[in-house]
Each structure stands twice: as structure tokens, then as C-alpha cells.
Amino acid sequence: MSCSGMQFASYVTNKNNNKRINIMVALFVVFTFIILIVIDIVVLKAQKRKHPAFADAAKAVFNKNSLSLPERIFVSKGHTWAELVPGGFARVGVDEFVLKSLGKISVNYIAKEQTLVKQGEVIFQGTSGKGSFSFRSPIDGVIQDVNRNLTNIQDPYRNDWGVIISPSNWADNTKSLKNGQALVSWLKDEFSRLKDFLAVNSMNTELAGVTMHDGGNIMEGAVTYMKAEGLKNFENEFLTF
Amino acid sequence: MKNSNASKLSFWKIVAAVIMICGLYSSYIRFTKGLGASTHLSDSIPWGLWIGFDFLGVGLAAAGFTIAVMVHVFNIHKFEPIVRPAILTAYIGYTLVVLLLIIDLGRPQNFWHPLVMWNLHSVMFEITWCVICYSAILTLEFAPVVLEKYNLTAPIKILRKISIPVVILGVIFSTLHQSSFGSLYLIVPGRLYPLWYSTLLPVNFYISCIAAGLSMIIFESYLNARAFNLGLRLDILSGLAKIVLYVLIIGFLVRITDMIITGKTPFLFLPRTETYMFYAEVIVGTFIPVYLLSQAKYRKSRMWLYVISIFTLSGFVLNRINVAVTGLVASSKTSYFPSFDEISITMMLVVLGMWAFKLVSTKFPVFVELENLKEEKLPEDSREMILSE
């Protein structure tokens, strides 16, 4: 429709209507919407909580679907992995599940070369937040090499492996390790277990930034927000076997 | 899903309870004493806040079909985690709109008439049938969520087989009635203020509802994160925000081009309240969001995404209420402001919608991620099992 000059003129001369529409419904609705948002932020502040929009932006989240894992690795119930490499040796490290649960792992101890280790014995230790954690060997054998560049674990399956072991009981050891589709299924179960664990052990779930709900995401490093007892329980339940 | 705080009294629960009591009282007045006693509507202004809310409810629910078509038809699986919340939002949005329409009808007991008394030349007839059909489609789209809860695999398999035609049907019905809401106002060229009246109103309504629907999903993600302590998938929300940017630009270009072609630009300089409201709508709902969204640092910021979604939604609210109320008040020679009953019933429905969303989310697996494992096609030596995208 083309706008006629008469129509324009009628609106120019008819200025009385300005007074009639002084109460604007549109503004009322928008201001109600905005005022409710502002009140919500104030209420959260009074409760010493943070609105998600203003929460710590650095915290990423993870879930059972956001992990990847090399096809040939075998993972222990203590979340350490072993992978055969050329020469009949096995490279060993920490899996991504633990890395994401703790957020960041600084390694402060690695077992020495030529040390004889049994499956389940501590091979390296690290700290994350206020917690100190021990990681256990997934296999029996003799440590042939250690990763001297390992200070912070960031790339758990490639650059940030821990030790190389000459396996002495590979066939038997791998019976208790997870691989392939069994590993995928087990990891999914581990996520459910982690959510339950966080629900029980976190004093303040919102601080941990986790959800206990179906399919919800867990904030990276959620475990490190727990108190000392919770951190100890995490090691007992997820890193020990 | 467990919620240990369900029985705790909170500020918002008290507010919601007060709103519900007021809303129920107003509903009683409306159904016992009629529209005249409970609203400020008149023969001059027969459509007010409630019709505006209908526009908002349906428009904000547009993410249901937008996200569904992106994931199921165009296979953009990045957005899969938000399909269910989007469909649930649409489902609840449409249910509320239907409820409010029944309240708004002069004779609510006759609400079923369009089902059997067909008037094929009426836009209202098209809207009624599209809303009914799309609500049925939404039922089919959401059914797997309920069936999963009870491990009813056989009907889920059937629904999966027909999912693509169902989604496409949903898009068709949504497109028809989202635009038809604009078509409603084509019958009032002399009454609707020229800055809002256009023969392209159906197109404008359709384009703007896509931007608003996607913004609503962004805004709703923050509400969910707040209510359920959920994490935010900023990668997904940023992706949605980018689409919002393009849609807002397209919508504005269509609108301004139409205004230039139809010679309405002089109205932009007329010192009238309508002009100021038009500028408020465009600045809040288009210029500011487009400026912010065009910069990656804002688009990827947790705080700014929230702020931008508020701007976009506010602009959408202004647009729809401007069309439904502001643009008609001048020609009606009277003023209008909703009555207490109109406001309290509207707010009661908003509270009901939020309660419904929370209830369904806590009882059914709405917030789920991809369950299907996928293998990334990498060279053999670096091949990995990928648990998701």
C-alpha cells in the first residue's frame, strides 16, 4: 500500500491523540520484564549467589558425551590408561575423565626408572586445588622411561603421558581393564556415579557448579570445590582399585 | 531428577503464589461477570494485552520449529542438546496461548466452533487450524521424551521413522500461522499506524519470530542454568546468536526497504508518540543487538549473550504490542491500559508456564545430550572413538 499524502496530513494535524496514548502498554510490558530480571539479580545477590550470566566465565562444562579417547587404550578403574607402543612397551597416563573432574592436575611426583610396579601401586602424584591425589599403575611391569616434561596434565593421551612400562603380565592385567565399547559404556556409568558422588559430597552444589539432573553438565574442576573429606573420598572412589 | 529445594519457601515462590491467587480471582471475575467487568477492552479497542500476549507467546515459541528443522532436516547436530527444551518451550507457549484465547473469547464455551464451522475465507480460521495442527505436531515431537521415561521403545521407533515428515509438517504449520498473525492486521489499513502497517506484515512477523524464538532459547538457557544449576553450552548459544544477527539484519532490511518503497519515511520524522515507540522498538530490538552480535567478543561472552537476548526480546515485545495496541490506539480515538484483571491473568499464565516447564523438566529427560556414539574419520594411527561431536 502506498502512503497517501492525505493520510500523512491527517496524522500531522491530529496531534490530540498524543495525549490519549500517553500510557503505553508496550512500555509497561517491557519494563515489567526488565524489572523482574533486575529483582532476580538482586535476590540472588542477597542470597550470596551468582546469576549464571555473571558467574565465573572461565569455568567450562563437560558431560559424558564431550570426551574422546584413543581407540587402543585400556583404562583401569582408577582412571589411568595403558597403551601398547612399538617395542612391546606400554605408555601409561591419566584419563580425561579425571582431568576434567579435577580441572587441572599439577604433577609433583613420578616413580623412578627401573622401578618395579604392580597393578594398583602409585606411579605418580599430583595436586589440584587444595587436594593431593595419587594415580595408580594399570599394569604390572618395570618403569622404563618417565615423561620429564610432565608438570601440568593438559593433553592426557598425547603429550602428557606419565611413564613407559615394560609389561610383565599384560594379558592378565588387561582382563580387568576397559577397552572399546566396554570402555565407552563404563565411562558413561562413571559420569552417573560422579554426579551422585558430587550430590552427596558437595556441601554447596552451586559453588561446585554442577547439576544432579538427568543429562546435565558438570563444571570442569567441580571436584576441587569440595572440602578435604570429599577430596579424599574422590580418591578412594575413583582413583583407587 | 531430584530437587531437594522443592519444599523450601523462596522469594519467587511467594511472588508466584501471590500472582496465582490474584490470577485465579481475576479468572473468577472474568468468567462470572464477563469481559466488560474484567477488562478495559471496548468496541473501539476489542484487542488489548491478551492478544498482544498471544502474539508474544507464539512468537517466542518459534524456536521449536526453528531448532527442530536445523537439527532434523538440515542435520546441524550441534544444536541437538537444545531441541527438547525448545520443543517443550513451544509446547507450553502454545498451550498458554490457547488458554488465554479461551479466556479472551467473548463466549468461551463456543471455542470449538471453528473445528466444525469452517469459514475458509477467514484468517482466524487459518490461525485456529494451524495452531491446532502445530500443537498436535508438537505432541508428536515431544512424545519420545515421555516414552523414554517409561522405556516404551516400540512407539519411539515408529516416531523416529516419521520424525522428518513430522518436523517438516511442523515447519509448514508454524510458517503459516506465524505469518498469519501479521495477516490479521492487513484488514485494518486505515486503523493501524503506518509505521507498522504494511502488506509485508506476514513476512515481518515471520522473520521477527525466528530471531525472537532463538533469543528466547538463549534467555531460557540462563533461566534453566539458574533454576537447575545447569552448565551453559556457550558454544551452542553463540551459534544461535550468530543466526539471530543475520535474521535481525534481514528483518530490518525488509522492513526499511518496504517503508521506502511505500513512501512511509516521512512518518519517521513526525513528532508523535508512535514515532518514538517505533524508534524504541528498532533501537532496542535491532540496532543494539546487531551492533553487539556483530562482534565476536560480545557474541561469545556469557554476560553479553544474556544482555543481548534481553535486548532482542524487549524489541520483539515492543514490536508485537506496538502492532496490537500502540498502533491502533490513535485511530480508535480512545486510550487503553489493561485492567488489573487483564494483567493478573496474564501474569498467572506466565507463572503457570514456568511451573509447567520446571515440572516437566524434573520428571522427564529434557536436558539430554547426544547418546549415539560416532567415530571420527581420522587416519588410522590417530583414530579416536568420539563420544560425541
The model's pLDDT over A103-158, given as tens digits with 9 standing for 90+, comes to: 889 999 999 999 999 999 999 899 988 889 999 999 999 999 999 888 888 888 88
* Residue carrying the nine cell digits 484483571: B341
Q: How many CB atoms lie within 10 A of CB B320?
A: 28
For residue B228, give the nearest of A15, A184, A216 by CB distance. A216
pLDDT category, A213, cuts 50, 70, 90?
very low
B112 is a domain residue: yes
Residue A86, pLDDT > 80, answer yes
Distance from the Cα of A147 to chain B's closest Cα (Å) equals: 20
Mean pLDDT of A75-83: 93
Window 87-116 of A: residues touching B by CB (8 A cutoff) are: none
Dihedral angle of Cα A2, B189, A16, B255, to the nearest 10 degrees:
-60
pLDDT on residue B380: 35
Of B168, B144, B139, B167, the closest CA to residue B155 belongs to: B144
Containing H/E element for A167? strand A163-167
Compute the average pLDDT of residues A4-17.
64
Mean of the pLDDT values across residues B335-349?
Answer: 92
Determine the CATH number of domain A56-241. 2.40.50.100
Mean pLDDT of A63-85: 82
pLDDT (0 to 100) of residue B358: 85
Residue B330 counted as domain residue: yes
Nearest CA-CA distance, residue A239 and chain B, Å: 22
Distance between B262 CA and the closest CA of chain A, angstroms? 4
Any chain B CB within 8 A of the CB of A30?
yes
Q: Which residues contact B268 (CB under 8 A, 6 or more apart)?
A: B195, B259, B275, B278
Query: Given this model, what pLDDT does residue A53 score?
Result: 84
Of A83, A74, A105, A91, the C-alpha closest to A187 is A74
Identify the weakest region by mean pLDDT among A51-60, A97-106, B113-122, B267-276. A51-60
Q: Is B235 on the interface with A (CB under 8 A)?
A: no
Q: Which of residues 256-275 of B touch A (CB under 8 A)?
A: 262-264, 266-267, 270, 272-274
Q: Does B376 reside within a domain?
A: no
Please, which pLDDT band fits residue A21 given cuts at 50, 70 and 90? low
If you average pLDDT over residues B246-274, what whole number do you get? 93
What integer pLDDT is reported at residue B308 of this predicted model? Answer: 96
Does a structural domain hold residue B351? Answer: no
Phi, psi of B385 (to 5 degrees): -85, 120
Q: B301 and chain A: CB distance < 8 Å anywhere?
A: yes
pLDDT at A66: 62
Length of chain A, please? Answer: 241
CA distance B272 to chain A (A): 6
Residue B155 domain boundaries: 41-336
CB contact under 8 A, A25 and B222: no
- Between A56-70, A206-220, B313-327, the lowest mean confidence (pLDDT) is in A206-220
| CATH number of the domain that residue B301 is part of | 1.20.1630.10
Q: Does B222 touch chain A (CB under 8 A)?
A: yes
Which pLDDT belongs to residue A80? 94
Q: Is A206 on the interface with B (CB under 8 A)?
A: yes
Average pLDDT of chain B to the nearest whole number: 85
Would residue B366 count as lying in a domain? no
Q: Which of B222, B230, B366 sits opposite A217 (nearest CB)?
A: B230
The pLDDT value recorded for residue A207 is: 43
**Does the beta carbon of B325 lie under 8 angstroms from any beta carbon of chain A?**
yes
Q: Is the pLDDT of residue B83 over 50?
A: yes
Per-residue pLDDT reduced to its tens digit, B210-240: 999 999 989 988 888 777 766 677 888 898 9
| Whole-number pLDDT of residue B84 | 87
The half-sphere exposure of B240 on its side-chain side, counting CA atoms within 13 A, is 34
Please tell me the total count of domains within chain B. 1
CA distance B148 to chain A (A): 12
Please indicate whether, in this complex, the C-beta atoms of A216 and B277 are within 8 angstroms of each other. Answer: no
A34 has pLDDT over 80: yes
CB-based contact A65 B334, cutoff 8 Å: no
**CB nearest to A3's CB, from B48, B194, B318:** B194
Q: Is the pLDDT of residue B28 over 90?
A: yes
- pLDDT digit string (tens) for B298-323? 998 889 999 999 999 999 999 999 99
- In eight-state DSSP terms, residue A168 is S
Cβ-defined contact of B229 to A212 (cutoff 8 Å): yes
pLDDT of residue B72: 82
Tell me which of A70-84, B147-161, B281-295 is least confident.
Answer: B147-161
**Which residues of chain A make contact with B232, given a CB cutoff of 8 A?**
52, 61
In which band, very low, low, confident or very high, does the pLDDT at B379 lie, cut at 50, 70 and 90?
Answer: very low
Residues of B in Cβ contact (< 8 Å) with A216: 228-231, 367
Q: Does the beta-carbon distance from B322 to A52 stay under 8 Å?
A: no
